[in-house]
Every structure is written in C-alpha cells, then in structure tokens.
Structure 1
Amino acid sequence: MNKRINLVIGLMTLCTGFLLGLQFYWNYAAYQSSVRVFKSDINDALDKAVNHLMDLRRDEFAAQYKTWLADTNLVVVTAHYDARSASTQFILQDKHPVEERSPFYIGFDYKKRITAITPDAKAFFIDKFIESLLANDLKNGSSYYYTEKLGDLLSTVYKNDRLNIKRLESIYRQELRKRDIYDNFDLKFTRYVFKKWSTPNEPLSGYNYSTRRFKYGFHHPLIGINAYFINPNLIFFRKMKWVIISSLLLVAITIGCYTYTVKTMLSQKKLARLKDDFVNNMTHELKTPVATISVAAEAIQDFNLSKTSADEYLGIIRYQASNLTNLIDQILKSILNDQGIASFNRQQICLTDAIKNCIHQYQPQLQAKTATLNVVLPTEELYITGDTIHIGNVLANLLDNAIKYGSEQPVISIEVNVINDWVHINFCNDGPGIPAEYADKVFEKFFRVSTGNTHNVKGYGLGLSYARTVVQQHGGSLTLTSANKATIFTIKLPLATHEIGQRIVS
C-alpha cells in the first residue's frame, strides 16, 4: 500500500509541476505579447503625434500665407475671363518685384465671367490657391516661388520653425491614452547631421524602452524625435491583470488541491502504519493472556488439583480475562469517540476523592514496582462538573503510564494546584522521558514511542488519545512536558467550587 501511495504522490507531483510550468509559460508568453503590443503602440502613437503636429503647423503656415496673398502691399492679384479655356485667368505677381520676372498665371473655374478682380473673386482665388497649390507644397515641405517675395517668406517660415516639445508631449499623451497607456515618458530630439543621426537610436541610460526615431521639420537639418519610457511594467500588468488574476487563482487552486490531497494521502499512509503497529502490538499482547488462560484451563481439566491450586488457576484466568476485557473496552471507547456518540453523565465530582480512589486501585502495581508516590492535595475538597467514570479513567490512564514508563523503582508525584477558577493536576514520573518531537504525537490514536521491535511495556496506543478527548470534552486540556528525565502530564479543568489550602499525603 505504501508503495502505491508513493507512486500516486509521485505522479500527482509530476502532473502538478507540469500544470504549474504550463501556467508560468502561458503567463510569460502573455507578458511577451504585451511587450510587443506596447512597443507597437508607443511607436504608432508617436508617429501619429508627430504627423498631427506637422499638420497643425501646415494649417498655421497656410493661414499665414493667406494673409500674404490678401496683403495688397505685398502682392497684386488680377483676373479676366479667358474664352479659349472657358475659365477665369488669375495673375499673381509681387507689387514691388526685386528683379524682372514673368507673373504667375493660373486658371480656375470661377462662377462668374469677370474682366477685373473683385473682392469676391480674390477671396475665391486665395482659397482655391491654398487648397490646390500650397497644400501640396506644405505637405512635401517645398517652397515654390510663385513670386519672389512669397517664396522668400515661406522659406523663412520653414527655417524659423522650431519644435514645440510641450505641444508634442500633449498630443503624444492623448494618443497614448487612446491605447490605454498612462505611463510617464520623456521626449528627446536629435538633429540630422551629414546624412546620419548624431546619436544612436537606442534606449538611454536609465530608460527601459525607446521608440523608433521619427522625423519632424520642413527644411534641413531635420529633427529626429524619440520617446523614452522608464518602467512600463505597470502597463503590462494592468493590461494582463485578468490573465494574471485567473492564472494565480488557478495556480492557487491547483496547489491547494495538491497539498490537501498529498496531506490526506500521507495521513492515510501514517494511519495505515500506525494501525499496522497497533495490530502487531495487539497480536503480541493478546498472545500472553490467551496462552495463560489456555494453560490454566488445561491444568484444571487434566490434573487433579486441590481446591487451593484450582482457585489459584481460576484467579489467573480471571485476571487475564480482565486484561482482555480492558483492551476491548478501550477499543470500543475509541470507536464511540470517533463516531461522536460518546455521552457523559455530568454531575458534581469531588476531585480529591477521585484521585484517592485511583491511588487505592493502583496500590498493587505501586507495591510491585516498589514505587515512591508523593501526593500533594488541597486541604479542602475540590469539585468539578463531569462524568465520574470517564474522569476516573483519565486519572487511571495517567497513573498507569507513570508506573509503566517510570524507572525500575519509579518516583511518582501527583500535585493539585488551583489557579483562578481552574484546577491543575500534574502527574510526574522519573522515567527516560519523551523526546520533544513526540510531545504531540503521543496523543494520536495508535501511536507509541518507537522502541524497535521490543514490547517491554504493555500498551495499545489508545489511552492518551482517549484521555485528551475526554478532558477536552469537559472544557479542559491535557498537555505534556518532558525535561531532565522527568515526564509531566498536566490536566487543566474548570472548577465548580474550590477552596484555598493544601495538605501533603505521602
């Protein structure tokens, strides 16, 4: 059975480890996916932010260009209807040309036939000129000299344009929020020098991630812009929070089920081992009384014994039968306690009388072991509420253990103390003691301190388990302390009434 349990635990451990490894791999893959999405998002957002800022600047350039076209001190706009092209021919030239050059001619389909420029026609021309010609120039970052003055002005605007880093940060932040990214960032720019960027495109010291470099500008040298992020892990975890929560929940459930199952199986394994030890010990203990009864019965039957000898053999049979009855009683009590059907006849118990009765019953055993018994009892009677038989059995169990597990000529002490509303009963013997690792195990059913294959002391591993159960069901506790070759069992029970004072009985 133990080999089967070990095999099952091994297979469960392997399967659980595989499931946990699969979960960790899945989370790692999800993390890597979040990193890839994050890198893609921050690059896409910066690309759109730079383009949006440049579009805003183009609109501003176009608005300024409109003012130049409308300025009669700067340029002159004339118009007439051209019958051959069936369109209105507009003529644009500087008012004060620096050098001799031909005017700029362009035809637009104006709704009216005119022979001279009108305010309405000029407004139509300016809007159409910006829409059809200048928009394309601004998009390409070129400066076409429709007139000398207009070309110079637009080239100067291009050259004087400066990157507004605060404005770009605001636009970029809005783009990031659309992608559920709220992490702090820094924007850095680099000028274009000799057909290459003056700084490498890689994260700076102290930053974890960097975007690609995006170009901004309408003239050379252009500006390269990067966004740097210090620690975007919070972004990853926020995006993965439901994946992480569900994974952690699954891992916790898996580990919990694994732990509970292994613990249960180990308990079953331990219980099986204890029961095996119990059966082996029981078999050994049963052989002696059964064999003694059998020999005594044969002697009475086969030999013509005197009445004295027959009575002696009958006494042996009764004594061994009593041992067997006691064993059966302990097993039955243990079963009743396990099934939760043990009942108590609660009444007022004189504790001092119960201890005296217990000592009286064990006088033959004390004399046989040449034991020294020291008893310290209160001068006044103490009372507890409980079952007389069960409390008597607890006292008998502890005294019996003190005798059996003491030294060859044991020194046993029974001391009763009253602390507040509780009575403390100490059973102390001078035996070899109980190792600290067994201090709690001795109260487990079927457990006995390992002594190899020897069985010098009769026992079934049930007495202390029964005693603790009874004391706990009476609202008290049973504990063990062992030090300096002294073993002390302490019963703590609530008092019904008590008086202060002590007397020594030896």
Structure 2
Amino acid sequence: MNRKLYWILLTLITFALLGLVFLQTQWLKNAWKVKEDHFSLKVNQAMSEIAKAVETQETIVEVTSEIFSVDYDIKRSNNISRIFGTRYTPQDSLKPQYLLSRESISVKNDSGKNTNTQVTIATGDTILFSHILSTNQKDDIRKVLTADKTEKELVDKLSNKTLLVEKIVNKLLNYSDDFNRRIDKEVLISIITREMQNAGIGLSYEFAVKDSKGKVFVSSDRYNNDRAVHAYKTNLFPHDVFSDPFYLILYFPSKSNYIIHSMGYMGILSIFLTLVIIFSYGLLVYIIFRQKKLSEIKNDFVNNMTHELKTPISTISLAAQMLKDQSINDSFKNVDHIAGIISEESRRLGFQVEKVLRTAMMERSEIKLKIKQVDIHEIIITIVNNFELQVKNKGGTLSAHLNAKNPVIEADEHHMANVLMNLLENALKYCEKSPEIIISTRDITRGISVSVQDNGIGIKKEEQKKIFEKFYRVPTGNIHNVKGFGLGLSYVKSVVESHGGVIKVDSEPGTGSMFTLCLNKQLKTEPI
C-alpha cells in the first residue's frame, strides 16, 4: 500500500472513531444527567415530606403530653360568666382582636333537640358566638343558655380548652435549642425510611442533623462527612421563627450504581458497544502496523535470501564453467579442488534452504521430534570440533567447560545439534574482534543447563525481547552487513520450548552475550 494513502486512511478512521466516541459520550452524559435530576427531584420531594412529618410529629407529641397533664380543676369562669348572664341574640357579636381557637359544642334543650354552636376564643376573655340551629325555634337557645347547670358545664369546658390551647401554643413557640429534645432519633429514622419508600427510593442512606454552624446533633452509624459533599439538605423545621434552623443532611452511598441500573440495558449496551469499537480500532491499528512491519521484514528477508543463495549459486556456476572450458588445458584444471568448491557451496546452499524450511515447518507445528536418550556432552564435543577451525581462522578461541555430572537427557539429537550450531554461528558473525567463545554445562533441578558465552558486540536491553521473533535482525546501522535471514534464534527458541525448556539471554553492548538453555532430563517433566 502507498505510504501516503496508508496515513490518509488511518487519519480518516481515527477522526471517524473520535467523532463517534464523542457523540456516544455526550449521549451517555445527557442520559446520566436526566436520570440524576429525576432522582434528585424525588429525593427533594421526599425531604420536604420528611420536614412536614417531623413538624407534625413534634406537634402531636406536645399536644398529647399536654392533654394528659391538664389540671381540670383550674377554672376561669368569672370573666366568661358575665357574658352568659346578658341577653344574647343571633345578631349580637363581639369583635375580637386576635383569634386563637375555634370549637363547636352541642347543647340539648328540654325537648331533646340539639343546638350546634361554634365558639371562637380570642385573647383575653372575649367570646364570639355563631350558631346553627337544628330547629326553627330560635327562642330555645335563650332557654338553654339561661339554665344554671348547662352554663356551668359550658364555662368549665371553655375554660379548660382555652388553657390547653394557650399552653400548647406557648410550648410550640418556645423552641428548644437541643434537637434531641424535639424529636427522637429512632422516630426520625422511621420517618425518613417511610418517606423514601413512598417516593420509590429503596437505596440505603446515611444522614446527619446539623445546625447552621455545622454542629452534629444526631447521625447514622456510617455517616462520613467527607462523602457528604454532594449530599441533599433541607430544613427540618421550616416554620420556626426565632430559633436557629436544624438541617437534615442525607446522601446515598450507592447512588451511582442506582443511576446506572436505572439507565437500563440501553445504557449498558451503549457503553459495551463503545468499548468494542475502541478495542476494534486499537486492534485494527495494531494489525495494520504489524502488517507494515511484516512487509518490511519480508522485503529484507527476500533481499537477504537472494544474496545468501546467489553467492553459492554463482560459485557453483563459475566452477562448472571452468570444467567445461575447452580452452583450458586439463593439466591446469584442478578437478579435485573445483569439485570440493562445488560440494562445499552445494552444502551451504542446502543448509540455507533447510533453515527456511525448518522455520516454516515449526510455524505450522509440523515438525516431528525424534526423542531418545542423548548425551549432550557428545553433541557439544562434535560441534566444537567442527567449528574450531573457523574460530582459529579469525584468531579466536573456542573452549568447552562440561561440568554437568549427568549429561544424558531426552531430546531430538538432530534439532539439538542445530540449536547449538546456530548459537555458535551468531557468536562468530556478531564479533568484531578475535572471538572468545565458551560452551559450559552444569546440573540444575530436574535437568541440565547449557550456556554459550561470547565477547561479541552485545545486544541492547530493548532489543533482547525481539531477537527471538522471526526475521528480526539486530540493527547494526543503516545497512545489514551481517549475513543471515533472522531465523536462527526463532528456530532455537521453538526447538527448546518444544523440549519443555526455556532460553535466556544476558547481554550488554560492547561486552558480549550469554545464551543459556535450561533443558529437562525427561521430556514429560514440567517446564523449568
């Protein structure tokens, strides 16, 4: 794909995704706000009802306590009796300045007929009568009210009622500064719970009652002042005139979960789809970059393979031409030497082809291991003898420190030999001075450890995690001046892991590298 087109496509997809995520986020925020506002409305309505219920409860308590403590022997008939001693007609009325109480009483006359009379009690001892007669005989009221016994009972009732109302009103106006004396904590909790249930709110809540200065008078057991930043607040006694207000502070610990649940499946599905889109985009970008990287690796591999295969092919072709050239006298043709060159280059060509085929088979998991009892020391000695000449030609040394007491393991001899050969080849290729290579073994738990140490150029920390990837080659500059396909270490790791082992690398740039193989003695043993 054209590089410019690639970036244009990636940019368009990115902007489209960002726009979609932005719109989806705005929709979710608006849906959240609507649900939160609806929830807050229900809570505020419930708290208004709580305040009404608390004031009603306080009034009931005061009225009830006062009714049971009234002294019915107190009489104030002197001021009231004067009014009943005068003549009264339905048109007569006294104009009170302040009204405190209004009561209806029923009086029976001698004929057994009822007269309903409404009495309004004002400050002082002024009384206003208004009445509804159940009979058309208006003169009967005068007969009833002039009766001594009825007059005395009426005076007593009105006197007691006046005293009761005055005492209750005085108590309600003289507020207590101690909240706990006005309403009990358990009663308050029952009121809050009842009103929340009536509002359809079944969440657990925490509350506290504070004054305007923040002093806490009562609170729930788990109330946390730090979590009450966004709590709901209302005045419990809104009709108090002279006293400091008491505020009910209430919050819901699981409010967020409730709102999410109230959004229903649409909200959850929307969040899920948004996450899926974001994940898919990330995976798409990863695949695109990986394909781009693989394309570059493939091009490098083709170039390297062409170079690696072209060299032995050219050598073989040149040797064949020398043998066929009739202009060269047979006595000058060193047939054995030319045949040796052809044989060596053919072997080299076959080795490169086999390496590529081995990697392809390992990728498809088609490689078949021929497991048997092998002596790892014998394999190492054979390989050291084969590579010793190449090392000496570069002015280096190759030594073996075989310290393992039990070198026999279960492994595929052929692939294990190829693993060690790959490590030695890398030690030779990536060394810019006289190579010093050491192969050592030692016993470990359930197996044996084989190490190949060199004094090469070393590998950076960030590169060590990538060296076992297929086709990856450690950068040595703008040009790869070291031969190879980048398949050797990938093959090594695959073979070691297929034997249930692990491979480790310890390297520092400029000081060299050490590759360590940890192999099981028995193939069925758990990985080391």
User: In the alignment, residue 106 of structure 1 is paired with which amino acid?
Assistant: I
Q: Is the 8 A contact 2:62 2:168 kept in 1?
A: no
Q: Which moved more, 1:243-252 or 1:150-159?
A: 243-252
Gaps of 5+ in 1: 118-145, 191-204, 498-506
Describe the superposition over 1:327-359 as per-residue Cα deviations: whole angstroms up to 9, x where unpaired: 111111111111111001111112222112212
Q: Name the structure 2 match of 1:171.
A: 191
SS at match of 2:485: coil
Is 1:284 the counterpart of 2:307? The answer is yes
The alignment's C-alpha RMSD in Å is 4.4
Tell me, in whole angstroms, the C-alpha distance in 1 between the residues paired with 2:454 and 2:517: 15
> Is the partner of 1:441 in helix, strand or coil?
coil
Instruction: Sort the Cα spacing of 1:391 and 1:148 in 2 relative to 1 into closer, same or farther, 3 A.
Output: same
**SS of corresponding position for 1:442:** coil
Match of 2:484 in 1: 459
TM-score, normalised relative to structure 2:
0.69
Partner of 2:359: 334
- Paired with 2:15 and 2:133, the residues of 1 have a C-alpha distance of 84
Distance 1:315-1:475 versus aligned 2 partners, 3 A rule = same
* Residue 399 in structure 1 maps to residue 400 in structure 2: no
Pairwise CA distance, 1:414? 1.5
**Greater RCO (Cα-Cα under 8 Å, separation 6 or more):** 1
| Shift in alpha-carbon separation, 1:93–1:63, aligned structure 2, 3 A | farther
Aligned to 1:503: none
Which amino acid is 1:276 matched to?
N
Aligned to 2:149: none
Cα distance change, pair 311–212 in 1 and its aligned pair in 2 (3 A):
same
**Is residue 451 of structure 2 the alignment partner of residue 431 of structure 1?**
no
2:33 is aligned with what amino acid?
A: Q
**What do the CA deviations read for 1:70-107 (whole angstroms, capped 9, x no partner)?**
99988985234999xxx84234679xxx9686754233
C-alpha separation between the residues in 1 aligned to 2:44 and 2:262?
A: 25
Which residue does the alignment assign to 2:249? 228
Counterparts of 1:337-356 in structure 2, within 5 Å, are: 337-356=362-381
1:467-497, Cα deviation, whole Å (9 max, x unpaired) = 1111111122222211352221222222369
Q: 1:183 aligns with which of 201, 205, 217?
A: 205
CA offset at residue 228 of structure 1?
2.7
Q: Which residue of the partner structure matches residue 40 of structure 1?
A: 41
Letter in 2 for 1:271: L
How far residue 175 of structure 1 moved from its aligned partner, in angstroms, is 0.8
- Answer whether contact 1:369 1:409 (CA < 8 A) is retained: yes
**Distance across 1 between alignment mates of 2:405 and 2:129:** 133
| 1:79 and 2:79 correspond | no
Q: Which residue of 1 aligns with 2:165?
A: 154
TM-score w.r.t. the length of structure 1 is 0.72
The one-letter amino acid paired with 1:358 is I
Residue equivalent to 1:128: none
Q: 1-side partners of 2:25 and 2:73: how far apart?
A: 70
Greater shift after overlay, 482-491 or 337-346?
A: 482-491
Q: Determine helix, strand or coil for the equivalent of 1:434.
A: coil
CA offsets per residue over residues 225-262 of structure 1, 9 Å max, x none?
64333x54642443325758666655554454444443
Question: Displacement, 1:177?
Answer: 3.9
Structure 2 residue matching 1:272: 3-state secondary structure: helix
Name the structure 1 match of 2:520: 494
Distance 1:378 1:156, change over 3 A: closer
Task: Measure the CA separation in 2 of the matches of 1:89 and 1:368.
Answer: 139
Q: Secondary structure at the match of 1:106?
A: strand
Per-residue deviation at 1:170? 3.8
Q: What amino acid is aligned across from residue 171 of structure 2 in structure 1?
A: N
The answer to which of 482-491 and 258-267 deviates more is 258-267
User: Which residue of 2 is the match for residue 298 of structure 1?
Assistant: 321
Task: Compute the displacement of 1:188 (Å).
Answer: 5.6
The one-letter code of the counterpart of 2:299 is D
Q: Secondary structure at the match of 2:492?
A: helix
Change in Cα spacing, 1:71 to 1:18, as seen in structure 2 (3 Å) is: farther
Q: Which moved more, 1:330-339 or 1:317-326?
A: 317-326
Equivalent position of 1:480 in the other structure: 505
Q: Per-residue deviation at 1:49? A: 2.9
Counterparts in 2 of 1:354 and 1:209: CA distance versus 1, 3 Å: closer
Could you tell me how far apart the structure 1 residues matched to 2:301 and 2:428 are? 21
